Chains A and B, each alone.
Chain A
Amino acid sequence: MSASEVRLRDLLVRGLNGDASAYHAFLKDLSTHLRAFFRVRLSRLPDEVEDLVQEALLAVHNQRHTYDPGEPLTAWVHAIARYKLVDLYRRRAVRDALNDPLDDELDVFASSDTEAADARRDLAKLLERLPDQQRLPIVHMKLQGLSVVETARVTGMSESAVKVGVHRGLKALAAMIRGEI
Protein backbone atom coordinates (compact mmCIF):
# COMPACT_ATOMS: atom_id res chain seq x y z
CA MET A 1 0.00 0.00 0.00
CA SER A 2 1.48 3.34 -1.01
CA ALA A 3 2.04 6.17 1.45
CA SER A 4 -0.49 8.40 -0.26
CA GLU A 5 -3.10 5.65 -0.12
CA VAL A 6 -2.55 5.23 3.63
CA ARG A 7 -2.83 8.98 4.16
CA LEU A 8 -5.89 9.40 1.94
CA ARG A 9 -7.64 6.44 3.46
CA ASP A 10 -7.06 7.82 6.94
CA LEU A 11 -8.46 11.21 5.88
CA LEU A 12 -11.51 9.64 4.28
CA VAL A 13 -12.27 7.40 7.24
CA ARG A 14 -12.06 10.41 9.55
CA GLY A 15 -14.28 12.32 7.14
CA LEU A 16 -16.85 9.52 7.12
CA ASN A 17 -16.90 9.81 10.91
CA GLY A 18 -17.85 13.46 10.67
CA ASP A 19 -14.47 15.24 10.56
CA ALA A 20 -15.22 17.85 7.89
CA SER A 21 -11.68 19.27 7.71
CA ALA A 22 -10.16 15.81 7.18
CA TYR A 23 -12.79 15.21 4.52
CA HIS A 24 -11.90 18.52 2.89
CA ALA A 25 -8.22 17.53 2.80
CA PHE A 26 -9.19 14.15 1.34
CA LEU A 27 -11.24 15.65 -1.50
CA LYS A 28 -8.59 18.28 -2.24
CA ASP A 29 -5.86 15.69 -2.50
CA LEU A 30 -8.08 13.29 -4.40
CA SER A 31 -8.84 15.96 -7.01
CA THR A 32 -5.14 16.15 -7.96
CA HIS A 33 -4.96 12.37 -8.45
CA LEU A 34 -8.18 12.33 -10.44
CA ARG A 35 -6.90 15.16 -12.63
CA ALA A 36 -3.69 13.28 -13.43
CA PHE A 37 -5.63 10.07 -14.02
CA PHE A 38 -8.09 11.68 -16.45
CA ARG A 39 -5.49 13.86 -18.18
CA VAL A 40 -3.61 10.76 -19.36
CA ARG A 41 -6.80 9.08 -20.53
CA LEU A 42 -8.36 12.10 -22.18
CA SER A 43 -5.31 13.27 -24.09
CA ARG A 44 -7.49 14.01 -27.09
CA LEU A 45 -10.19 15.73 -25.12
CA PRO A 46 -8.13 17.94 -22.78
CA ASP A 47 -11.03 20.36 -22.33
CA GLU A 48 -13.08 17.62 -20.71
CA VAL A 49 -10.59 16.86 -17.94
CA GLU A 50 -11.66 19.42 -15.36
CA ASP A 51 -15.36 18.74 -15.92
CA LEU A 52 -14.75 15.06 -15.37
CA VAL A 53 -12.68 15.73 -12.24
CA GLN A 54 -15.63 17.66 -10.83
CA GLU A 55 -18.10 15.00 -11.87
CA ALA A 56 -16.00 12.28 -10.24
CA LEU A 57 -15.62 14.32 -7.04
CA LEU A 58 -19.37 14.73 -6.88
CA ALA A 59 -19.76 10.98 -7.47
CA VAL A 60 -17.27 10.14 -4.73
CA HIS A 61 -19.14 12.45 -2.37
CA ASN A 62 -22.63 11.18 -3.23
CA GLN A 63 -21.53 7.55 -3.06
CA ARG A 64 -19.13 7.84 -0.09
CA HIS A 65 -21.36 5.55 1.98
CA THR A 66 -20.35 2.66 -0.30
CA TYR A 67 -16.70 2.73 0.79
CA ASP A 68 -15.88 -0.21 3.03
CA PRO A 69 -12.90 0.78 5.22
CA GLY A 70 -11.77 -2.85 5.11
CA GLU A 71 -11.16 -2.63 1.36
CA PRO A 72 -8.33 -0.82 -0.46
CA LEU A 73 -9.16 2.79 -1.24
CA THR A 74 -7.34 2.58 -4.59
CA ALA A 75 -9.76 -0.02 -5.92
CA TRP A 76 -12.79 2.00 -4.82
CA VAL A 77 -11.58 5.30 -6.27
CA HIS A 78 -10.31 3.64 -9.44
CA ALA A 79 -13.66 1.92 -10.05
CA ILE A 80 -15.53 5.22 -9.64
CA ALA A 81 -13.10 7.16 -11.84
CA ARG A 82 -13.21 4.48 -14.50
CA TYR A 83 -17.00 4.30 -14.36
CA LYS A 84 -17.28 8.05 -14.90
CA LEU A 85 -14.72 7.92 -17.69
CA VAL A 86 -16.59 5.17 -19.52
CA ASP A 87 -19.80 7.11 -18.98
CA LEU A 88 -18.21 10.14 -20.62
CA TYR A 89 -17.03 8.00 -23.56
CA ARG A 90 -20.55 6.70 -23.93
CA ARG A 91 -22.03 10.18 -23.85
CA ARG A 92 -19.55 11.42 -26.38
CA ALA A 93 -19.72 8.18 -28.37
CA VAL A 94 -16.08 8.60 -29.18
CA ARG A 95 -14.64 5.60 -27.47
CA ASP A 96 -13.64 3.96 -30.71
CA ALA A 97 -12.10 7.14 -32.00
CA LEU A 98 -9.88 7.38 -28.97
CA ASN A 99 -6.96 5.15 -28.29
CA ASP A 100 -6.51 6.18 -24.72
CA PRO A 101 -5.70 3.26 -22.47
CA LEU A 102 -8.50 1.97 -20.29
CA ASP A 103 -6.48 -0.43 -18.23
CA ASP A 104 -7.85 -1.98 -15.10
CA GLU A 105 -4.92 -2.18 -12.76
CA LEU A 106 -3.56 1.30 -12.70
CA ASP A 107 -2.75 2.99 -9.43
CA VAL A 108 -4.88 6.11 -9.24
CA PHE A 109 -2.66 7.57 -6.57
CA ALA A 110 0.58 7.09 -8.50
CA SER A 111 0.49 10.59 -9.93
CA SER A 112 -1.06 13.92 -9.14
CA ASP A 113 -1.71 17.17 -10.97
CA THR A 114 -2.48 20.38 -9.14
CA GLU A 115 -2.89 22.58 -12.19
CA ALA A 116 -6.62 22.91 -12.46
CA ALA A 117 -7.87 24.20 -15.75
CA ASP A 118 -11.18 26.00 -15.80
CA ALA A 119 -14.15 23.71 -15.93
CA ARG A 120 -16.30 24.36 -18.98
CA ARG A 121 -19.47 23.34 -17.26
CA ASP A 122 -20.38 25.71 -14.44
CA LEU A 123 -21.82 23.76 -11.56
CA ALA A 124 -22.96 27.03 -9.93
CA LYS A 125 -25.26 27.57 -12.93
CA LEU A 126 -26.60 24.03 -12.68
CA LEU A 127 -27.24 24.58 -8.97
CA GLU A 128 -29.50 27.50 -9.80
CA ARG A 129 -31.78 25.16 -11.71
CA LEU A 130 -32.51 23.01 -8.68
CA PRO A 131 -35.88 23.43 -6.97
CA ASP A 132 -35.84 25.68 -3.89
CA GLN A 133 -36.14 22.90 -1.33
CA GLN A 134 -32.85 21.50 -2.64
CA ARG A 135 -31.11 24.68 -3.76
CA LEU A 136 -31.63 26.72 -0.59
CA PRO A 137 -30.20 24.10 1.82
CA ILE A 138 -27.15 23.70 -0.45
CA VAL A 139 -26.62 27.46 -0.76
CA HIS A 140 -26.93 28.10 2.96
CA MET A 141 -25.25 25.02 4.35
CA LYS A 142 -22.68 24.12 1.76
CA LEU A 143 -21.79 27.51 0.28
CA GLN A 144 -22.36 29.92 3.17
CA GLY A 145 -21.35 27.43 5.84
CA LEU A 146 -24.44 27.68 8.03
CA SER A 147 -25.33 24.77 10.31
CA VAL A 148 -28.39 22.58 9.80
CA VAL A 149 -30.22 24.45 12.59
CA GLU A 150 -29.37 27.86 11.15
CA THR A 151 -30.31 26.79 7.63
CA ALA A 152 -33.62 25.48 8.91
CA ARG A 153 -34.32 28.82 10.59
CA VAL A 154 -33.36 30.92 7.56
CA THR A 155 -35.33 28.84 5.07
CA GLY A 156 -38.28 27.96 7.30
CA MET A 157 -37.72 24.29 6.48
CA SER A 158 -37.49 21.50 9.04
CA GLU A 159 -34.03 20.22 9.95
CA SER A 160 -34.63 16.86 8.34
CA ALA A 161 -35.93 18.56 5.18
CA VAL A 162 -32.69 20.56 5.06
CA LYS A 163 -30.56 17.40 5.27
CA VAL A 164 -32.69 15.59 2.69
CA GLY A 165 -32.58 18.68 0.47
CA VAL A 166 -28.77 18.77 0.44
CA HIS A 167 -28.56 15.04 -0.23
CA ARG A 168 -31.15 15.00 -3.03
CA GLY A 169 -29.85 18.25 -4.49
CA LEU A 170 -26.33 16.90 -4.92
CA LYS A 171 -27.72 13.71 -6.46
CA ALA A 172 -29.86 15.80 -8.82
CA LEU A 173 -26.77 17.78 -9.73
CA ALA A 174 -25.01 14.55 -10.73
CA ALA A 175 -28.08 13.56 -12.77
CA MET A 176 -28.04 16.94 -14.55
CA ILE A 177 -24.41 16.41 -15.48
CA ARG A 178 -25.33 13.01 -16.96
CA GLY A 179 -27.97 14.84 -18.95
CA GLU A 180 -30.93 13.03 -17.45
CA ILE A 181 -32.76 16.09 -16.17
Chain B
Amino acid sequence: MKTDELVAMLASGATAIEANTLQRRYATALGWGAFGATLIMAIKLGVRSDLAEAILLPVFWVKLAFPATLFAAALLAATRLSRPGMPLGHVAAGIAAPIVAMWLLAVAALITAAPEELDGLIFGRTWTSCLSNIPTISVPLFVASLWAMKGLAPTRLTLAGSAAGLLAGAGGALVYALNCPEMAAPFIAIWYMLSMLIPTVLGAILGPWLLRW
Protein backbone atom coordinates (compact mmCIF):
# COMPACT_ATOMS: atom_id res chain seq x y z
CA MET B 1 0.00 0.00 0.00
CA LYS B 2 1.37 3.39 -0.98
CA THR B 3 1.39 6.21 1.54
CA ASP B 4 -1.16 8.20 -0.48
CA GLU B 5 -3.46 5.19 -0.46
CA LEU B 6 -3.08 4.89 3.30
CA VAL B 7 -3.89 8.59 3.71
CA ALA B 8 -6.99 8.18 1.55
CA MET B 9 -8.01 5.12 3.52
CA LEU B 10 -7.60 6.80 6.92
CA ALA B 11 -9.47 9.93 5.81
CA SER B 12 -12.26 8.10 4.04
CA GLY B 13 -15.50 8.37 5.98
CA ALA B 14 -13.71 9.95 8.96
CA THR B 15 -16.42 11.16 11.30
CA ALA B 16 -16.34 13.77 14.05
CA ILE B 17 -14.42 12.93 17.21
CA GLU B 18 -16.36 13.34 20.42
CA ALA B 19 -15.07 16.25 22.46
CA ASN B 20 -13.40 15.83 25.86
CA THR B 21 -12.45 12.19 25.33
CA LEU B 22 -9.69 12.48 27.90
CA GLN B 23 -11.89 13.98 30.61
CA ARG B 24 -14.63 11.42 30.08
CA ARG B 25 -12.19 8.55 30.07
CA TYR B 26 -10.57 9.62 33.34
CA ALA B 27 -13.97 10.33 34.91
CA THR B 28 -15.15 6.81 34.03
CA ALA B 29 -11.92 5.23 35.23
CA LEU B 30 -11.79 7.10 38.53
CA GLY B 31 -15.50 6.52 39.15
CA TRP B 32 -15.13 2.75 38.84
CA GLY B 33 -11.78 2.79 40.63
CA ALA B 34 -13.17 4.72 43.58
CA PHE B 35 -16.17 2.39 43.71
CA GLY B 36 -13.84 -0.64 43.80
CA ALA B 37 -11.58 0.94 46.42
CA THR B 38 -14.52 1.82 48.66
CA LEU B 39 -15.91 -1.70 48.26
CA ILE B 40 -12.62 -3.33 49.31
CA MET B 41 -12.39 -0.98 52.26
CA ALA B 42 -16.01 -1.62 53.31
CA ILE B 43 -15.64 -5.39 53.11
CA LYS B 44 -12.16 -5.60 54.58
CA LEU B 45 -12.08 -2.87 57.20
CA GLY B 46 -15.09 -0.58 57.50
CA VAL B 47 -14.69 3.00 58.70
CA ARG B 48 -13.24 3.71 62.11
CA SER B 49 -15.82 3.54 64.87
CA ASP B 50 -14.86 6.92 66.32
CA LEU B 51 -15.07 8.77 63.00
CA ALA B 52 -17.58 11.28 64.42
CA GLU B 53 -15.08 12.34 67.10
CA ALA B 54 -12.05 12.13 64.81
CA ILE B 55 -13.40 14.68 62.36
CA LEU B 56 -13.21 17.29 65.12
CA LEU B 57 -9.43 16.97 65.27
CA PRO B 58 -7.22 19.01 62.90
CA VAL B 59 -4.80 16.13 62.37
CA PHE B 60 -7.61 14.05 60.87
CA TRP B 61 -7.98 16.68 58.16
CA VAL B 62 -4.24 16.80 57.64
CA LYS B 63 -4.36 13.06 57.08
CA LEU B 64 -7.03 13.55 54.41
CA ALA B 65 -5.45 16.65 52.87
CA PHE B 66 -2.08 14.96 52.31
CA PRO B 67 -3.33 12.19 49.99
CA ALA B 68 -6.04 14.46 48.56
CA THR B 69 -3.56 17.11 47.35
CA LEU B 70 -1.25 14.40 46.03
CA PHE B 71 -4.22 12.86 44.23
CA ALA B 72 -4.99 16.18 42.55
CA ALA B 73 -1.36 16.72 41.54
CA ALA B 74 -1.05 13.13 40.26
CA LEU B 75 -4.26 13.53 38.26
CA LEU B 76 -2.85 16.64 36.61
CA ALA B 77 0.39 14.79 35.86
CA ALA B 78 -1.43 11.72 34.52
CA THR B 79 -3.73 13.67 32.21
CA ARG B 80 -0.85 15.73 30.85
CA LEU B 81 1.31 12.67 30.31
CA SER B 82 -1.59 11.06 28.44
CA ARG B 83 -1.29 13.58 25.61
CA PRO B 84 1.70 13.72 23.27
CA GLY B 85 3.76 16.87 23.55
CA MET B 86 1.87 18.31 26.51
CA PRO B 87 4.30 20.23 28.77
CA LEU B 88 4.36 19.13 32.40
CA GLY B 89 4.62 22.68 33.69
CA HIS B 90 4.74 22.92 37.47
CA VAL B 91 3.39 19.42 38.04
CA ALA B 92 6.56 18.27 39.82
CA ALA B 93 6.29 21.16 42.28
CA GLY B 94 2.63 20.30 42.80
CA ILE B 95 3.60 16.76 43.79
CA ALA B 96 6.54 17.87 45.95
CA ALA B 97 4.61 20.56 47.87
CA PRO B 98 2.29 18.30 49.91
CA ILE B 99 5.17 15.92 50.63
CA VAL B 100 7.44 18.70 51.88
CA ALA B 101 4.61 20.21 53.96
CA MET B 102 3.85 16.82 55.51
CA TRP B 103 7.49 16.25 56.33
CA LEU B 104 7.80 19.68 57.94
CA LEU B 105 4.85 18.83 60.18
CA ALA B 106 6.45 15.48 60.97
CA VAL B 107 9.82 17.01 61.85
CA ALA B 108 8.11 19.65 64.02
CA ALA B 109 6.27 16.90 65.90
CA LEU B 110 9.45 14.88 66.36
CA ILE B 111 11.64 17.69 67.71
CA THR B 112 9.03 18.82 70.21
CA ALA B 113 8.36 15.28 71.44
CA ALA B 114 9.86 13.66 74.51
CA PRO B 115 12.33 10.83 73.70
CA GLU B 116 9.98 8.12 75.00
CA GLU B 117 7.19 9.29 72.67
CA LEU B 118 9.25 8.97 69.48
CA ASP B 119 8.53 5.30 68.93
CA GLY B 120 4.79 5.86 69.12
CA LEU B 121 4.88 8.89 66.81
CA ILE B 122 6.83 7.05 64.15
CA PHE B 123 5.46 3.51 64.26
CA GLY B 124 2.06 4.01 65.88
CA ARG B 125 0.30 0.70 66.32
CA THR B 126 -0.65 -0.05 62.74
CA TRP B 127 2.25 0.66 60.39
CA THR B 128 2.21 -2.83 58.92
CA SER B 129 -1.51 -2.73 58.14
CA CYS B 130 -1.06 0.73 56.64
CA LEU B 131 1.64 -0.64 54.33
CA SER B 132 -0.52 -3.55 53.19
CA ASN B 133 -3.97 -1.93 53.16
CA ILE B 134 -3.27 1.20 51.12
CA PRO B 135 -1.74 -0.71 48.17
CA THR B 136 -4.57 -3.29 48.37
CA ILE B 137 -7.29 -0.64 48.38
CA SER B 138 -5.59 1.14 45.50
CA VAL B 139 -5.64 -1.91 43.18
CA PRO B 140 -8.95 -1.00 41.43
CA LEU B 141 -7.74 2.57 40.98
CA PHE B 142 -4.43 1.30 39.64
CA VAL B 143 -6.10 -0.86 36.99
CA ALA B 144 -8.53 1.94 36.15
CA SER B 145 -5.88 4.65 35.71
CA LEU B 146 -3.74 2.44 33.49
CA TRP B 147 -6.86 1.61 31.46
CA ALA B 148 -7.60 5.33 31.07
CA MET B 149 -4.05 5.98 29.92
CA LYS B 150 -3.94 3.01 27.60
CA GLY B 151 -6.78 4.53 25.57
CA LEU B 152 -4.92 7.82 25.21
CA ALA B 153 -1.37 8.35 23.98
CA PRO B 154 1.37 8.60 26.62
CA THR B 155 4.82 8.97 25.06
CA ARG B 156 6.90 8.93 28.25
CA LEU B 157 5.85 5.54 29.49
CA THR B 158 7.83 5.23 32.73
CA LEU B 159 6.72 8.65 33.93
CA ALA B 160 3.17 8.04 32.78
CA GLY B 161 3.06 4.70 34.61
CA SER B 162 4.38 6.32 37.80
CA ALA B 163 1.77 9.07 37.59
CA ALA B 164 -0.98 6.46 37.20
CA GLY B 165 0.47 4.55 40.16
CA LEU B 166 0.70 7.63 42.36
CA LEU B 167 -2.86 8.56 41.41
CA ALA B 168 -4.02 5.12 42.52
CA GLY B 169 -1.89 5.15 45.68
CA ALA B 170 -3.09 8.59 46.75
CA GLY B 171 -6.71 7.58 46.07
CA GLY B 172 -6.20 4.42 48.10
CA ALA B 173 -4.64 6.39 50.97
CA LEU B 174 -7.52 8.83 50.92
CA VAL B 175 -10.03 6.00 51.33
CA TYR B 176 -7.91 4.22 53.93
CA ALA B 177 -7.61 7.41 56.01
CA LEU B 178 -11.29 6.97 56.95
CA ASN B 179 -10.39 3.76 58.76
CA CYS B 180 -6.87 4.42 59.97
CA PRO B 181 -6.71 5.22 63.70
CA GLU B 182 -3.27 6.84 63.62
CA MET B 183 -3.15 10.55 64.37
CA ALA B 184 0.58 11.42 64.38
CA ALA B 185 2.15 13.49 61.61
CA PRO B 186 5.40 11.45 61.49
CA PHE B 187 3.36 8.24 61.01
CA ILE B 188 1.51 9.76 58.07
CA ALA B 189 4.64 11.28 56.57
CA ILE B 190 6.45 7.95 56.62
CA TRP B 191 3.94 5.15 56.19
CA TYR B 192 1.37 6.84 53.97
CA MET B 193 4.23 8.02 51.79
CA LEU B 194 5.78 4.55 51.52
CA SER B 195 2.38 2.95 50.92
CA MET B 196 1.70 5.32 48.04
CA LEU B 197 5.17 4.69 46.65
CA ILE B 198 4.44 0.97 46.19
CA PRO B 199 1.86 1.45 43.38
CA THR B 200 3.96 4.35 42.03
CA VAL B 201 7.02 2.16 41.57
CA LEU B 202 4.87 -0.65 40.19
CA GLY B 203 3.42 1.79 37.66
CA ALA B 204 6.89 2.92 36.65
CA ILE B 205 7.89 -0.69 36.04
CA LEU B 206 4.72 -1.75 34.23
CA GLY B 207 4.23 1.46 32.22
CA PRO B 208 6.69 0.69 29.43
CA TRP B 209 5.14 -2.78 29.04
CA LEU B 210 1.47 -1.96 29.31
CA LEU B 211 1.15 1.49 27.81
CA ARG B 212 2.81 1.05 24.41
CA TRP B 213 0.82 2.04 21.37
Instruction: Give residues in A with beta carbon < 8 Å to B.
Output: 15-18, 20-21, 23-24, 27-28, 31, 35, 50, 53-54, 57-59, 61-68, 71-72, 74-80, 82-83, 87, 116, 118-119, 122-124, 138, 141-143, 145-148, 170, 174, 178, 180
Chain B residues with CB under 8 Å of A83's CB are 84, 155
Chain B residues with CB under 8 Å of A27's CB are 7, 10-11
A123 touches B1 (CB 8 A): yes
Chain B residues with CB under 8 Å of A64's CB are 17
Give the contacts of B21-40 with A (CB-CB under 8 A): 21-22
A79 touches B155 (CB 8 A): yes
A20 touches B13 (CB 8 A): yes
Residue of B with least CB distance to A117: B3
Listed A/B pairs (29) with beta-carbon separation below 8 Å = A16-B16, A17-B16, A20-B12, A24-B12, A31-B7, A54-B1, A54-B6, A57-B10, A58-B10, A62-B213, A65-B17, A66-B82, A66-B152, A71-B83, A75-B85, A80-B85, A82-B155, A116-B4, A118-B2, A119-B1, A119-B3, A122-B1, A123-B1, A124-B1, A141-B12, A142-B12, A145-B13, A146-B13, A170-B10
Chain A residues with CB under 8 Å of B22's CB are 65-66, 68
**Count of chain B residues with a beta carbon within 8 Å of a chain A beta carbon:** 30
A20 touches B7 (CB 8 A): no
Chain B residues with CB under 8 Å of A31's CB are 3-4, 7
Q: Which of B3, B83, B155 has the most CB of A within 10 A?
A: B3
B86 touches A71 (CB 8 A): yes
Chain B residues with CB under 8 Å of A142's CB are 9-10, 12-13
Interface residue B111 (Cβ < 8 Å from any Cβ of A): no
Interface residue B43 (Cβ < 8 Å from any Cβ of A): no
Compute how far the CA of A119 lies from the CA of B6 in the bound complex, rounded to whole angstroms.
11
A143 touches B9 (CB 8 A): yes
Interface residue B125 (Cβ < 8 Å from any Cβ of A): no
Chain A residues with CB under 8 Å of B118's CB are none
Instruction: Quote the shortest CB–CB distance from A53 to chain B (angstroms).
Output: 6
Chain B residues with CB under 8 Å of A57's CB are 3, 6-7, 10
A20 touches B11 (CB 8 A): yes
Chain B residues with CB under 8 Å of A170's CB are 10
Residue of B with least CB distance to A15: B14
Instruction: Quote the shortest CB–CB distance from B169 to chain A (angstroms).
Output: 25
Compute how far the CA of A28 lies from the CA of B7 in the bound complex, rounded to whole angstroms.
6
Interface residue B52 (Cβ < 8 Å from any Cβ of A): no
Chain A residues with CB under 8 Å of B14's CB are 15, 18, 20, 23-24
Compute how far the CA of A74 lies from the CA of B7 in the bound complex, rounded to whole angstroms.
19
Partner pick for A76 among B11, B85, B213, CB 8 A cutoff: B85
Instruction: Quote the shortest CB–CB distance from A145 to chain B (angstroms).
Output: 6
Partner pick for B13 among A53, A54, A124, A141, CB 8 A cutoff: A141
Interface residue B48 (Cβ < 8 Å from any Cβ of A): no
Interface residue B114 (Cβ < 8 Å from any Cβ of A): no
10 cross-chain pairs, A with B, having the tightest CB-CB distances, nearest first:
A75-B85, A18-B16, A79-B84, A79-B85, A24-B11, A63-B153, A83-B155, A123-B1, A65-B21, A27-B7
